[in-house]
Amino acid sequence: MKRLATATVAAVMAAAPVMADLVFPSLSYRTGAYAAGGIPFADGYADYMTLLNERDGGIGGVMTRILECETGYNTEKGVECYEATKGEGALVYQPLSTGITYQLIPKATADGIAIHSMGYGRTSAANGKVFSNVFNYPANYWNGASAVVQHILDVNGGDIKGKKIALVYHNSAYGKEPIRTLEELSKKHGFELSLLAVDHPGQEQKSQWLQIRRERPDYVTMWGWGVMNQVAIQEAVNIRFPMENFIGVWWSGSENDVLPSGDDANGYKAVTFHNVGNNFPVFEDVKKHVVDTGKAAGAGDQIGTAIYNRGFYAAMLAAEAVRNAQAIHGVADITPAMMLDGMESLEITEARMAELGMPNFGPSFKVSCENHGGPGTVGVAQWDASSKTWSLISDFKETDMSVIQPLIEADSAAFAAENNIAERCN
Amino acid sequence: MLYRESGDFSETYKADSQTFPIKFDRYRYYAVLIVAFLVIPFVINDYWANAVLVPFLIYAIAAIGLNILTGYCGQVSLGTGGFMAVGAYACYKLMTAFPDVSIVVHVLISGGITAAVVTLFGLPSLRIKGFYLAVATLAAQFFLVWLFNRVAWFYNYSASGQINAPDRTVFGYLVTGPNTEAWAKYLICLIFVTFTGIVARNMTRGALGRKWSAIRDMDIAAEIIGVNPLNAKLSAFAISGFFIGISGALFFSVYLGAAEVGEAFGIQKSFLVLFMIIIGGLGSIFGSFAGAAFMVLLPVFLKNVLVGGLGWDTALAAHLEFVIVGALIIVFLIAEPHGLAQLWRVAKEKLRLWPFPH
Amino acid sequence: MFPDQFLFGVEVLLNGLMAGVLYALVALGFVLIFKASGIFNYAQGVMALFAALTLVGIMDGQVPFSHLINALFGTDVHHFGWHVPAFAAILLAMAVMVGLAWIVQYFIFRHLVGQEPIILFMATIGLAYFMEGFGDMMWGSEIKKLDVGIPQGGSFWIEEATAFLGGSNFYGFFIDQLDIVAAVVAIILVVLLVAFAQYTKQGRAMRAVADDHQAALSVGISLSFIWVLVWSLAGFVALVAGIMWGAKSGVQFSLSLIALKALPVLMLGGFTSIPGAIVGGLIVGVGEKLFEFLIGAPFLGGATENWFAYMLALVFLVFRPQGLFGEKIIERV
């Protein structure tokens, strides 16, 4: 047994090119209950790296290599994947599940490897003083929650006193994230908040939606994932809840979630930290260099879908961080430690995104030692059922950092105290 | 030739009733212990510890626990995941509330707390039997997961409900937390496994184990010959719970380091541990180890071969992994319904007669 | 005018009944197999998923194993390019389920005759694993929309007709059309099954096997035929359940988890009773919805449905260990 496994490990080593490369592990989940969300993300992530290899010959002359490892959204498999890939010079991990992220935060910190949990994971990791190796720019769940409220404020001319907002959430660590922020915001703006938990997997939500029908909240917001999203949107349609008052977080805002409800889902909204649609020059290159040459990770039909774009965006941020690290250290084949420097001083400008063929794909932002969370600017996208597309209906706007920052400080301080971490960046 | 009892005379009662009456078995057992304690810790690396050996050892403890209940006492339980969660959360609360007490003590106390909870959920077993009981233990599974998710006290009011294991040491060496060396992780689990294995083995071949077997084979008949079903069943639940609690505590504190109840201790875990003991062999300590090894190693092995060796697409490999594991379970059951332990027993019988089988 | 709270309670009760019918539909498949062969078929949920996947695949003209074929031969096939009408597709999917029943009988359970129940149970778990991977490999793991023309959404005429009952806060009873259809289908299915079991030759043979294998064998009934028949029937029930749940949430992996919803139904109703599955389903549906409405959501923070059904069944079993309609347990030494 052991000999065979060693032999296979050796085979992996032998199969890998001898030359220097930049390794990006992709802990994907193409199977299991959440596969529909995992596939496009992994495809987008891989396609961008393939594009860099095919079109530009890698980053700064060094080829990129995606190490894909299937986790099935399962924490134990995630650990296995991490241990299997970390020795190969992995630069940055996208754990892609709340459970695996929490799992890897201490491990990767001990191993000196960066984690980029983009729009998921532990929100308070935005505090770089405590979480040295974890980044969650450009936005986190608490920004998302604040953006939902911000949007409702905008629609109502700034006054939502006495309005009722219901949160339908996945009854897990992920789903519980926005609760504290929403509670603070409800104190500040005087709206009434009601919480409705939905247990995994969320196939049966009649009770929750009957309750919504009884209580008639003015707005419903949702932290859902997997089948829970489709069922919730369908049930909202069933009780004739006005779709434009139903706002999901980014993980509840993909094509998969709204398509099953057909035309009735028209007008559903979701907050997002990156742009949607396939109307970007870079996708022409992807078609030409990746899809048409048969090197695409998927079938090539996912380009422009919300989660594909998210994976694509994540890969772009990782590649830009590599470039930044190369510039800082003057070495092309960077190490994980250099990657950390690259991420910590990353600056994404509108000009740079336009240069990459991705104008206005995400917000412009700058990462610093203290702030690993970026600007926390979030936009709102709306679903158009007739053309089957998402479109941004508001720019990436500032969220209420006066509420979020103290929460981040408090939560990260608790983590620091529990684990005896001294603050950095002083 | 080597494996036979001839020439191996027992001169005392003690020698006659030892665990491994055959000399070769005994030496093999010592050899395994020596390799496990004195060789592996020096060659182990992070991958082998975290992806293979530590989960194997921890699942072996859980499998021994469940095997006592299901294999020896005949009470099918599908609440293992929930019971492991009790161990994990008890350990977390103890670790954060009494940081100065040794982690070993915490793990043992967590086992005790779990034993109490499991006994409570074992009470209906006095009335409910067979698959009805199996499904009834699912009530414990779902209720406990819900409880740990709902009551913020259990996760010290953290924002998302995740629990994180702080750094703890044994004799000055870290055994929990991210900076733990691979060998330390492995050794602490190995010590608990050895302890569990020895205790379980001796319990199941003593008076208590015989009472359990009597209950398993036919509880009414057992009652007639003087076995108290209340004591026998509840003691099985309690002792099984104790081991499952230990495994849950180790699973969280040493192996994962961070856990969320629905994800780490969901219904899948209950099924997984049950698979282990059925594949390994009901009513066999060796079977618990074999089953845990099979269910932990096989997926890792298949993945390494399919993705690493043959370079397949990860999704396809994952699907194929399901197909192969499912097919192997069926093939094993058809070939040997009593599990790997029975195969081992048959092999030993053959060895005993070798090279003159007639 | 009634107080609104009471009307809401009635509405929750009605919806609970509808949900209960859907649970009963899944539980039926379990009962059929358990009654005839003593196998506790854990794979029932995966069978529902597999049946629904097959149905969608046939309707959309998907090429089976396209992912595998493309990976092995470097081709790029996805669809045949045709669309099969729903009715024909259902028949074809049924044919696949019959084929599956035959395979299951001939390759698995024929070799396991006479084994202990827990071994048989384990074999169905192996089968569940196998089919989970196999279904995904055959049809892909992305979410698929299932549209066989079942209406969905609130029944607005019921809402309007009953709105007068309460005050301004009450908007009439909400009942999903899909649930109504499912209820009707389930009732038809049960009637058909009972009629089949009572009045046809095969049905009688099936009951004879359920009563006593050896006696049935000795009067010339082919056990393996009956078992194929039973597995096919369970496959048919799985297909119907798959259609109903698939229309609701799209066809994807989580569909296989509905088996977990059927287990407390089985405990309540007894593993061997068809009426028990129906009544048990209704009790579980109503019980969990009412508990969530009255106690769960207001006092316990919600999401109690998952465990409540099991707790209910557990408490019930303590008083009646064989379930509602289960055969009386007679134990002899």
Instruction: Note the pLDDT tens digit of each residue in A87-100.
Output: 888 999 998 888 89
Q: What confidence tens digit (pLDDT) does each residue in A196-218 have?
A: 999 888 888 888 998 898 888 99
| Nearest CB to A8; choose among B50, B51, B309 | B309
**The domain that contains A150 carries what CATH number?**
3.40.50.2300
Contact list in A for residue B177 (CB cut-off 8 A) is: 106, 419
Q: Which amino acid, one-letter code, is at C220?
A: G
Judge whether A106 and A128 are in contact, CB under 8 Å. no
What is the average per-residue pLDDT within A221-247? Answer: 91
Q: What confidence tens digit (pLDDT) does each residue in A26-60 have?
A: 999 888 888 888 889 999 999 999 999 999 998 98
The whole-number pLDDT of residue A14 equals: 42
Would you say residue A330 lies in a domain? yes
Percent of chain B with pLDDT over 90: 46
Distances (CA, A) of C200 to A252, C36, C207: 50, 16, 11
Residues A236 and A323 in one domain: no
Q: What confidence tens digit (pLDDT) does each residue in B103-143 have?
A: 999 999 999 999 999 999 999 888 888 878 887 888 999 99
Distances (CA, A) of B67 to B198, B216, B241, C279: 14, 12, 11, 35
pTM confidence score? 0.91
Judge whether C261 and A200 are in contact, CB under 8 Å. no
Evaluate if residue B1 carries a pLDDT over 60: no
Q: Which of A367-376, B83-92, B244-253 has the lowest mean pLDDT?
A: A367-376
| Nearest CB to A30; choose among B159, B264, B318 | B318
Question: Quick one: pLDDT band at residue A18, thresholds 50, 70, 90?
Answer: very low
Query: Is beta strand A269-272 parallel, antiparallel or unpaired with respect to A378-384?
Result: antiparallel
H or E element, residue A396: strand A389-397
Mean pLDDT of chain A: 88
| Nearest CB to A260; choose among C8, C145, C296 | C145
Q: Which amino acid, one-letter code, is at A253?
A: G
Residue A386: name the closest of A238, A267, A246 by CA: A267
Least Cα separation, residue C181 to chain A (angstroms):
15
What is the average per-residue pLDDT within A90-116? Answer: 90
What is the average per-residue pLDDT within C298-308? Answer: 82
Neighbours of B171 (CB within 10 A): 7
Q: What is the DSSP letter of A141?
A: H
Tokens of A400: 């209420």
Contact list in C for residue A211 (CB cut-off 8 A) is: 293, 297
Would you say residue A202 lies in a domain? yes
- What is the rounded CA–CA span in Å between residue A356 and residue A354? 5
- What is the rounded CA–CA span in Å between residue B72 and residue A108? 42
Residues A166 and A302 in one domain: no
Give CA angle at C263 (C257, C264), nearest 5°: 125
Question: Quick one: pLDDT band at residue A23, thresholds 50, 70, 90?
Answer: very high
Sign of CA dihedral C297, C303, C304, C306: positive
Question: Quick one: pLDDT band at residue B209, thresholds 50, 70, 90?
Answer: very high
The whole-number pLDDT of residue A8 equals: 44
Residue A26: name the closest of A73, A92, A111 by CA: A92
- Given an 8 Å threshold on Cβ–Cβ distance, is C11 in contact with A210? yes
Q: What confidence tens digit (pLDDT) does each residue in B232-278 have?
A: 999 999 999 999 999 999 999 999 888 888 888 988 899 899 989 98
Evaluate if residue C173 carries a pLDDT over 90: no
Q: Which residue has the higher pLDDT, C333 or B21?
A: B21
Q: Which of A178-192, A206-220, C200-214 has the lowest mean pLDDT?
A: C200-214
Contact list in A for residue B263 (CB cut-off 8 A) is: 74-75, 99, 172-173
The whole-number pLDDT of residue C168 equals: 66
- Given an 8 Å threshold on Cβ–Cβ distance, is A83 in contact with B305? no
Q: What are phi and psi of A396, to 5 degrees?
A: -70, 110
Least Cα separation, residue A39 to chain C (angstroms):
8
Neighbours of C125 (CB within 10 A): 22
Question: Quick one: pLDDT band at residue A166, thresholds 50, 70, 90?
Answer: very high
Mean pLDDT of chain B: 89
Cis-peptide into C151, omega within 30 deg: no
Mean pLDDT of chain C: 84
Evaluate if residue B2 carries a pLDDT over 70: no
Burial label for B126, CB within 10 Å (0-12, 13-18, 19+), is middle
For residue A221, give the 3-state DSSP assignment.
strand
Would you say residue A424 lies in a domain? no
What is the average per-residue pLDDT within C224-249? Answer: 89
Query: Dmax of chain A from CA atoms?
Result: 69
Neighbours of B175 (CB within 10 A): 24
Distances (CA, A) of A355 to A51, A52, A350, B309, C223: 15, 14, 9, 40, 72
Q: Which amino acid, one-letter code, is at C214?
A: Q
What is the average per-residue pLDDT within C73-80? Answer: 76
Question: Quick one: pLDDT band at residue C2, thresholds 50, 70, 90?
Answer: low
Residues A320 and A390 in one domain: no
| Nearest CB to C137; choose among B136, B320, B328 | B320
CA A308, chain centre distance (Å): 11
> Partners of C74 in the beta sheet?
none
Residue A95: name the closest of B165, B258, C255, B59 by CA: B258
Closest alpha carbon within chain C to A264: C153
Q: What are phi and psi of B248, to 5 degrees?
A: -65, -45
Q: Which of A309-323, C56-70, C231-245 has the lowest mean pLDDT?
A: C56-70
Q: What confidence tens digit (pLDDT) does each residue in C253-267 have?
A: 888 888 888 888 888
How many domains does chain A contain in total? 2
Q: What confidence tens digit (pLDDT) does each residue in A298-310 have?
A: 777 788 899 999 9
Would you say residue A7 lies in a domain? no
Q: What confidence tens digit (pLDDT) does each residue in B182-197 have?
A: 999 999 999 999 999 9
- Close Cβ partners of B35 (under 8 Å, ≥ 6 residues apart): none
Mutation for testing the A interface, residue in B260, B300, B316 having most A CBs under 10 Å: B260
Any chain B CB within 8 A of the CB of A87?
Answer: yes
| Nearest CB to A231; choose among C249, C253, C305 | C249
Q: What confidence tens digit (pLDDT) does each residue in C121-154 have?
A: 888 988 998 998 899 888 887 788 887 777 777 7
- Given an 8 Å threshold on Cβ–Cβ distance, is C129 in contact with B322? yes
Tokens of C65: 């194993």
Evaluate if residue B88 carries a pLDDT over 90: yes
Least Cα separation, residue B118 to chain A (angstroms):
24
Judge whether A405 and A181 are in contact, CB under 8 Å. no
Q: What does chain A come to in residues?
A: 426
- Given an 8 Å threshold on Cβ–Cβ distance, is B136 in contact with C313? yes
The whole-number pLDDT of residue A5 equals: 45
Q: Where are the domains of chain C?
A: 4-259
The whole-number pLDDT of residue C283 equals: 92
For residue B233, give the 3-state DSSP assignment.
helix
- Given an 8 Å threshold on Cβ–Cβ distance, is C129 in contact with B138? no
Residue B273: name the closest of B50, B68, B48 by CA: B68
| Nearest CB to A213; choose among C174, C252, C254 | C174
Q: What are phi and psi of A361, to 5 degrees?
A: -70, -35
- Given an 8 Å threshold on Cβ–Cβ distance, is A176 in contact with B47? no
Q: What is the DSSP letter of A167?
A: E
Q: Which amino acid, one-letter code, is at C84?
A: V
Tokens of B78: 């599908």
Neighbours of C163 (CB within 10 A): 13
- What is the rounded CA–CA span in Å between residue A301 and residue A40? 10
- Given an 8 Å threshold on Cβ–Cβ distance, is C304 in contact with B138? no
Query: Is beta strand A378-384 parallel, antiparallel or unpaired with respect to A134-135?
Result: unpaired
Any chain C CB within 8 A of the CB of A179?
Answer: no
The whole-number pLDDT of residue A2 equals: 40
- Given an 8 Å threshold on Cβ–Cβ distance, is A171 in contact with C303? yes
Q: Where are the domains of chain B?
A: 44-266
Q: A112 is in which domain, residue-wise?
A: 19-139+280-376
Residues A259 and A392 in one domain: yes
Closest alpha carbon within chain A to B298: A1
Residue B137: name the closest of C323, C291, C310, C41 by CA: C310
Q: What is the DSSP letter of B22?
A: S
Closest alpha carbon within chain C to B74: C118
Contact list in A for residue B317 (CB cut-off 8 A) is: 70
Closest alpha carbon within chain C to B224: C333
Distances (CA, A) of A270 to A48, A297, B235: 24, 27, 54
Closest alpha carbon within chain C to B328: C126
- What is the rounded CA–CA span in Å between residue C123 and residue C129? 10
- What is the rounded CA–CA span in Å between residue C38 and residue A420? 57
Question: Quick one: pLDDT band at residue C60, thresholds 50, 70, 90?
Answer: confident
Evaluate if residue A16 carries a pLDDT over 50: no
Contact list in A for residue B309 (CB cut-off 8 A) is: 8, 11-12
The whole-number pLDDT of residue A42 equals: 92
Percent of chain A with pLDDT over 90: 53
